[in-house]
């Protein structure tokens, strides 16, 4: 797994889940969850008219938040296509909106100097040849299943390949591709599909042939360029077969990927920043999702959150871009990230007056707060001394102590930049 340097250097991207389910506004799996028929789902198609769609605004928001790439759902599991596909009428050009949504997206993201990514669903709950399985909206409809028993996955796979070819030839250079998802072998999932169904090896070879520089995720059920933990933070750098692998965690703002009007589970901006730092400190990326509304807007709550993250990134991106794990072990409630001789100490909790860094005595040439470049004083406490009323003791040899102000700096996560002595 060797993704291009831009990908691992970027560390932070925007995921965009947008489609017909944005109108239902109660989770992107609504068709499956509520077992809706095509007919019951049709009103969202008939009323899809995102008159305020302005991908330049999305790009600006992403860029101001410090994100370096943006990944759009070209098709989600409901089968609705955001681009003008020659292989189906179930696409944006046939809705009241009447236009391709992918072309202006690609142009706006590129113009903003960001990398362009596509998400593409392997599942399709609209295609007439996609065999009904445990996730399909009509999974409990015996009559439907009997009438559709002859569905042919090879015909569906031909469609899948043809559409991916379309996406990777019609819109210029595409930097990133996120396939979603394979479920063969997962317990209790009947009709589950995987690499043989998608003809993954053939599909991936075509992708690489059409876009040699593209970075592809691992959900085709065969290894590709990076692995994709979802909605949890890995406890350490990720490994496959004992070998460390590039990874990107995708996270929601509120537990739903699609616009979810009544959902109040918003994560605080502070938490999201800590999740970003936590990922970088374990050599991972964070792909943070927004679900624009049916009118094409990123809603005010998400916008506010992204602005706060952007405020932090403005003064702290140096501890994110191009950074990764450090060999040093951070103190409790802290995370390190490192790039070359710069070690970044992120303080998730604010201690009283001092923080003690194991193993760094004699290794730090200068230290400052990152947000304002104000010096912080470091010193080494004699580890042989004994404690008395006002004197601490018991620090391990080699510990470096940093003096901190009582007042925590007014930033979401304070960071101390340590300039290491050359080794």
By CB under 6 A, name the binding residues for ligand GLC: 17, 28-29, 180-181, 230, 250, 257
Q: C-beta of 123: minimal distance to ligand GLC in Å?
A: 8
Q: Which is nearer to ligand GLC, 19 or 294 (CB)?
A: 19
* Residue 405 burial (10 A CB sphere; 0-12, 13-18, 19+): exposed
Q: Which residues neighbour 298 within 8 Å (Cβ) at sequence distance 6 or greater?
A: 57, 58, 61, 290, 292, 306
Question: Exposed, middle or buried: residue 384 (CB in 10 Å: 0-12, 13-18, 19+)?
Answer: exposed
Phi, psi angle pair for 419, to nearest 5°: -95, 110
Q: How far is the CB of 104 from ligand GLC (least distance, A)?
A: 22
Distance of closest approach, residue 121 Cβ to ligand GLC, in angstroms: 7
- Are residues 272 and 261 in contact, defined by beta-carbon separation less than 8 angstroms? no
Q: Compare residues 250 and 334 and give the one whose CB is closer to ligand GLC.
A: 250
Cβ-based nearer residue to ligand GLC, 99 or 186: 186
- CB-based burial label for 168 (10 Å; 0-12, 13-18, 19+): buried
Q: How many residues does the chain have?
A: 423
In whole angstroms, the minimum distance from the beta carbon of 193 to ligand GLC comes to: 13
Min dist CB 152 to ligand GLC, Å, is: 24
Extract the runs of DSSP E, i.e. beta strands, from 227-379. 239-240, 243-244, 247-251, 284-290, 334-339, 342-347, 354-357, 364-369, 378-379
CB of 223 to ligand GLC, least distance (A): 18
Q: How many CB atoms lie within 10 A of CB 66?
A: 22
Please classify residue 418 by burial: count the beta carbons closer than 10 Å to its beta carbon, then call 0-12 exposed, 13-18 middle and 19+ buried: buried
Dig out the tokens for 224 from the structure.
């590709």
Question: Residue 112: helix, strand or coil by DSSP?
Answer: coil
**Cβ atoms of residues 235 and 278 within 8 Å:** no
Nearer to ligand GLC, 95 or 182 (CB): 182
For ligand GLC, the closer of residues 178 and 344 by Cβ is 178
Q: Per the structure block, which two tokens stand in for 214?
A: 């593209």
Could you tell me the smallest distance in angstroms from the CB atom of residue 233 to ligand GLC?
15
Identify the bridge partners of residue 262 per DSSP, sorted by sequence position: none
Closest to 114 in 3D by CA, of 75, 73, 72: 72
φ/ψ (deg, to 5) at 233: -100, 120
Smallest gap from residue 182 Cβ to ligand GLC (A): 10
Handedness of CA 85, 100, 97, 39 (dihedral sign): positive
Cα torsion angle, 347, 352, 353, 359, sign: negative
Which C-beta is closer to ligand GLC: that of 163 or that of 338? 163
For residue 133, the minimal CB distance to ligand GLC (Å) is: 13
The three-state secondary structure class of 43 is: helix
CA distance 81 to 89: 9
Residue 227 Cβ, how far from ligand GLC at the closest point, in Å?
Answer: 12
Nearer to ligand GLC, 288 or 345 (CB): 288
- Residue number, 294 or 414, with CB nearest to ligand GLC: 294
Residue closer to ligand GLC by CB (options 175, 180) is: 180
Q: Which is nearer to ligand GLC, 124 or 180 (CB)?
A: 180
Q: Closest distance between ligand GLC and the C-beta of residue 260, in Å?
A: 12
Phi then psi for residue 161, to 5 deg, are -65, -45
Nearest residue (CB) to ligand GLC, 182 versus 211: 182
- Give the whole-angstrom CA distance, residue 387 versus residue 398: 18
């Amino acid at each position: 797994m060797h993704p291009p340097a831009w990908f691992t250097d970027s560390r932070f991207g925007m995921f965009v889940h947008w489609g017909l389910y944005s109108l239902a506004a109660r989770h992107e799996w609504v068709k499956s969850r509520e077992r809706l028929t095509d007919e019951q789902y049709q009103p969202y198609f008939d009323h899809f008219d995102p008159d305020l769609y302005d991908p330049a605004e999305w790009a600006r928001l992403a860029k101001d938040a410090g994100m370096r790439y943006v990944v759009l759902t070209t098709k989600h599991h409901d089968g609705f296509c955001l681009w003008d596909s020659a292989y189906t009428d179930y696409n944006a050009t046939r809705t009241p909106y009447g236009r391709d949504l992918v072309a202006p997206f690609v142009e706006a993201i590129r113009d903003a100097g960001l990398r362009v990514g596509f998400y593409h669903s392997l599942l399709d709950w609209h295609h007439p040849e996609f065999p009904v399985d445990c996730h399909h909206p009509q999974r409990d409809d015996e009559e439907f299943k009997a009438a559709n028993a002859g569905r042919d996955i090879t015909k569906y796979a031909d469609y899948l390949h043809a559409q991916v070819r379309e996406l990777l030839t019609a819109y210029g250079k595409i930097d990133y591709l996120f396939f979603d998802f394979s479920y063969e072998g997962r317990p209790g999932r009947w009709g589950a599909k995987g690499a043989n169904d998608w003809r993954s090896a053939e599909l991936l070879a075509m992708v690489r042939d059409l876009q040699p520089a593209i970075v592809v995720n691992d959900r085709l059920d065969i290894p590709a360029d990076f692995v994709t933990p979802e909605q949890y933070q890995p406890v350490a750098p990720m490994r496959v077969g004992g070998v460390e692998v590039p990874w990107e965690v995708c996270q929601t703002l509120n537990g739903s990927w699609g616009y979810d009007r009544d959902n109040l589970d918003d994560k605080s901006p502070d938490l999201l920043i800590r999740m970003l730092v936590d990922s970088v400190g374990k050599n991972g990326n964070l792909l943070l999702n927004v679900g624009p509304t049916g009118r094409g807007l990123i809603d005010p709550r998400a916008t506010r959150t992204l602005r706060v993250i952007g405020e932090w990134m403005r003064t702290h991106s140096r501890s994110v871009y191009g950074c990764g794990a450090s060999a040093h072990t951070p103190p409790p409630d802290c995370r390190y990230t490192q790039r070359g001789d710069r070690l970044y100490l992120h303080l998730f909790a604010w201690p009283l007056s001092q923080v003690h860094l194991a193993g760094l005595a004699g290794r730090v040439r200068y230290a400052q707060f990152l947000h304002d470049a104000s010096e912080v004083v470091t010193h080494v406490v004699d580890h042989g001394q004994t404690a008395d009323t006002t004197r601490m003791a018991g620090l391990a040899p080699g510990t470096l102590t940093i003096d901190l102000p009582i007042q925590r700096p007014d930033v979401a996560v304070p960071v101390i930049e340590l300039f290491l002595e050359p080794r």
